[in-house]
Amino acid sequence: MKNSCRILGYDLIRIVAIFMVVTIHSNVIYLTNNFGRLEWIIMMEITAICLVSVPLFFMLSGALLLNANHVVGVNELFTKRLSKQFIPFILWSLIYVFLRILMGKLPLSINSITKLLYEPAYYQFWFMYTLLAIYLLLPILQVIVQNSNQKQIEYLLGIWLVFSVLIPNISYFYKEFRISEHIDLILCEGYIGYFLLGFYLSKYKRDIPNKIGLFLTVLGISIIEIGAYLEWKYCIDLQIKYTGYMYQEYRSLGVIIAVTGIFLICQKININHSSIFNKIIIKTSELSIGVFYVHMFILIAIECIGFSGENSMFIVIFKTILVYIISLFLSYIISKIPILGSVLLIRKN
């Protein structure tokens, strides 16, 4: 995409979203060790806000890939699109496997490699399994959306909202509202709904005023925060097991409302002129995939030397910023080394 028509708001989304991902992972050790304290509630609510991060990544992919000028053929899918994502993902997965072997958390065996077929090398990699699965459907999804009108896309999103968001959310707390597992809606369930939502908003909702986007963002975040707190309070008051569902679930009504508002605002931020600020934003955005891959290395290293912040909210906040900055710098270094940059980051071809 040429800079003259580049949507800078998409770059801003990537930067903020990947920082939120780092925040979620940095908070884990503190949330595990300080349950129920006031500071724990604050960190839990911060983590809950950061749930918008992963959906925004799926929405960006949907907006960019489903709005493409041509339908991706099967040959192009496997030789270009998938290879750009798949090769770095496999290499990083192997790197993390060997790291876990060195740490004594995995045995040195062929099974440690083959289990990558069904288990991520490190927990953040679940995202790539889901994204690559959606990529496999890309040629079909493009044909569907390009031959569907606005009402039909809204119908698909409505099915997704009911069967993949509302019913699972309600049935998690009230088992009697469960539906049959034999209802199979693969083309509009799971995270693919965010993929379609990104396309829908970018194609049909570009003219919505920013005040509407801001209202939806505030409303969505409020629902996320209130829901997360009420779940904790409900479990404490009734002395039942607390699982933290509402501060860990990416598919909830509050998250959908919030990411819709954020996307509506950001998709209207375009590049009108060249400036140093724009160049910094674009470059930082391009390094986001590197931050995704390397930040757990940095986090593990920092926590191993005793700077975990497991009992201090302020140290965790500082640790989060430090992990992000170091990860960004390391990603930049990797991108400047021709061989490493071409195989460990998304390849340009």
pLDDT at 348: 54
Helices (H), the chain: 8-33, 38-49, 53-66, 74-76, 82-102, 111-114, 126-136, 138-146, 150-160, 167-173, 192-204, 210-238, 253-266, 276-286, 288-304, 313-336, 338-344
52: how many CB neighbours lie within 10 A of its CB? Answer: 29
Q: Please name the amino acid found at residue 340.
A: L
CA distance 46 to 23: 8
State the pLDDT confidence band at 175, using cuts at 50, 70 and 90: confident
Terminal alpha carbon distance of the chain: 13
Whether residue 22 has pLDDT greater than 90: yes
With a pLDDT cut of 90, the percent of the chain lying above it is 70
State the pLDDT confidence band at 88, using cuts at 50, 70 and 90: very high
Whether residue 66 has pLDDT greater than 70: yes
Whether residue 259 has pLDDT greater than 70: yes
* pLDDT (average), residues 142-159: 94
Whether residue 325 has pLDDT greater than 50: yes
306-316 burial: b if 16+ Cβ within 10 Å, else e = eebbbeebeeb
* pLDDT (average), residues 31-45: 93
